[in-house]
A and B are shown apart, each in its own frame.
Chain A
Amino acid sequence: MSSYRHARITEIAVRCYPQEWRDRHGDEAIELAELLVRDGGSPVLVAWSYLRGAAREQLVTRPSRRLRPALAALVVGATLIGVPLVLLDSSTPANAASSGKVVAAISNRSDAVGQLESVFRSHHFSIEVEEEPSSPTRVGSILAVKAGPEKAGGHAVLREIAGPCVGGATGCIDAIAVPLHYTGTARVFVGRRVKPGEAYFASASILCPGETMRHGGNPRKTAVSPVHGLRSQDC
């Protein structure tokens, strides 16, 4: 392989990293690749190492948002250095088309809004994500889904998927299944930390002393004592 070609492959591999990574390490990474190849290292292995690093970096930086660039990095790089695509096939995520639904799941509660928005945007869904103050157990979970008017021929069913709450309580919603060809509009409300003195969303089963109810037919009433059986760490 000519020195020009392996330098080019390294450049392309480095370009697969996020911009902030390139700003910080890009020049040094290219120089390092040159030095390693000069020392007898394989240009293909050097480029492959960068591609795997780029894929990891894209996934770590913003897991759901970066999945496509990460996979693209691996596929582009593998093509460039001659790795058969079939070798990468097992790492490809399940195709939404096979189930007819797209599942927008929250795996990182501190980035719940970002994760949901990323999935909705990538499928061109008109679904907005808004944050609402909530009790500690519901922070980073889906509080409610409000579907708007349907366009002609649209599919109305947005299915909520339950998962564990912060602290181990049950009954929270941490994912939503959207029909692949959903054309309606909707708003998804996600719990966020409460500011001092702020009223917030709480369900009857997880009320803590001092929590103010905003839903459940008892608005703006404050709970005086924990519901029986409530574990102290939930508060």
Chain B
Amino acid sequence: MALTGSGHDGERERDVLRRAGEASVLILTSLADGPKHGYALILDIKEFSGLRLGPGTLYGALDRLESLGLIQALPAEERRHPYRITSAGEIALRDHLDSLERVSTVGRLRLGLGGV
């Protein structure tokens, strides 16, 4: 299933990404600044989020994101397969981050921490 489009389709993509799980969001975020292969993804995600993705989780999420059309596999470099984010993946990530931001703003306000 490939996801395309924007507008109210974005809601569908956001939902898909929400169901796809946290690992998928981390992977899309990592790929947002350029293609990476598995090991580079794990290192980058560890650096920006402090979370270490297990390799089994990583491959499961990569396959899921690829089947959703949110990322694309690039030609292999020896044994490594780099991936890049697709335009549908960028839309899904942007919508998801917007949603998180809204939740974050409300949560901070309610905790008396002020808006972001």
Contact between A53 and B59 (Cβ–Cβ < 8 Å)? Answer: yes
Contact between A25 and B81 (Cβ–Cβ < 8 Å)? Answer: yes
Contact between B55 and A36 (Cβ–Cβ < 8 Å)? Answer: yes
B66 CB, min distance to chain A CBs, angstroms:
10
Contact between B38 and A32 (Cβ–Cβ < 8 Å)? Answer: yes
4 A-B pairs with the lowest CB-CB distances in the bound complex, closest first = A53-B56, A49-B54, A49-B56, A27-B79
Give Cα distance in the complex from A41 to B63, angstroms: 23
- Knowing A31-B79, A45-B54, A49-B54, the reply to whether A25 touches B42 (Cβ < 8 A) is no
User: Which residues of A lie under 8 Å from residue B42 when comparing CB positions?
Assistant: 32, 36
Majority secondary structure of chain B interface residues (helix, strand, loop or mixed): helix
Contact between B80 and A28 (Cβ–Cβ < 8 Å)? Answer: yes
At the interface, yes or no: B57 with Cβ under 8 Å from chain A?
A: yes
Give Cα distance in the complex from A45 to B55, angstroms: 10
Contact of B56 among A24, A31, A35, A51 (CB under 8 A): A51
User: Which residues of A lie under 8 Å from residue B38 when comparing CB positions?
Assistant: 28-29, 32
Give Cα distance in the complex from A49 to B42, angstroms: 13
How many A residues touch the partner, as a band? 20 to 34
User: Which residues of B lie under 8 Å from residue A41 when comparing CB positions?
Assistant: 52
**Count the B residues whose beta carbon is within 8 Å of the partner chain — how many?**
15
**Cβ contacts A to B, 6 pairs, < 8 Å:** A28-B37, A28-B79, A29-B55, A29-B59, A52-B56, A53-B57
User: Which residues of B lie under 8 Å from residue A131 when comparing CB positions?
Assistant: none
User: Which residues of B lie under 8 Å from residue A35 when comparing CB positions?
Assistant: 39
Contact between A53 and B60 (Cβ–Cβ < 8 Å)? Answer: yes
At the interface, yes or no: A105 with Cβ under 8 Å from chain B?
A: no
Contact between B56 and A28 (Cβ–Cβ < 8 Å)? Answer: no
Contact between B56 and A50 (Cβ–Cβ < 8 Å)? Answer: yes
Give Cα distance in the complex from A27 to B55, angstroms: 13
Give Cα distance in the complex from A52 to B23, angstroms: 15
A11 CB, min distance to chain B CBs, angstroms:
13
Closest to A34 in B: B39
Which residues of chain B (56-111) have a CB below 8 Å from chain A? 56-57, 59-60, 63, 79-81
User: Which residues of A lie under 8 Å from residue B80 when comparing CB positions?
Assistant: 28, 31
Contact between A56 and B55 (Cβ–Cβ < 8 Å)? Answer: no
At the interface, yes or no: A54 with Cβ under 8 Å from chain B?
A: yes
